[in-house]
Amino acid sequence: MSFNFEKLDVYSNALDFAHEVYGETVKWPKIHQYSIADQLRRASLSISLNIAEGSSRTRNDYKRFLSIARGSCFECIPIIEIAKKQKILSTKKANKWYNHCVVMAKMMSRLKNSI
């Protein structure tokens, strides 16, 4: 059995993003584990969770959940920037994650408009 949301590229991208965020942030210094790392993990995870949960709702609710998922994507941006400024995230990785968020945000906007 598979759920319709599992077939969405944006859902797959969101899972990949959260997986990468989790893998990277566990390496960050202890001082950042319960603040910036935790916040980034929760925001990145929220993207796929809201896509999945929203798909089980009415069209209007689904659009609202996609907006929330997109907001979580946007929430990642300042965290990524702060991590880069704190020198716990390389510029290369920060740029990669930033671009990943841009792509996901656009995909969610297109999906929301198609519903």
Instruction: Break the chain into its structural domains and give their ranges.
Output: 4-114
Mean pLDDT by 10 residues, the chain (115 residues): 93 98 96 94 98 97 98 98 97 98 98 96
Residues with Cβ within 8 Å of 105's Cβ and at least 6 positions away in sequence, in order, are: 70, 73, 74
Which is it for the CA torsion 74, 79, 55, 19, positive or negative? Answer: positive
Predicted confidence at residue 37, as pLDDT, reads: 97
Stated pTM of the model = 0.95
Q: Which residue has the tokens 């590229």?
A: 9
Burial zone of 15 (CB within 10 Å; 0-12 exposed, 13-18 middle, 19+ buried) = middle
Predicted confidence at residue 41, as pLDDT, reads: 98
CATH says 4-114 is which class? mainly alpha
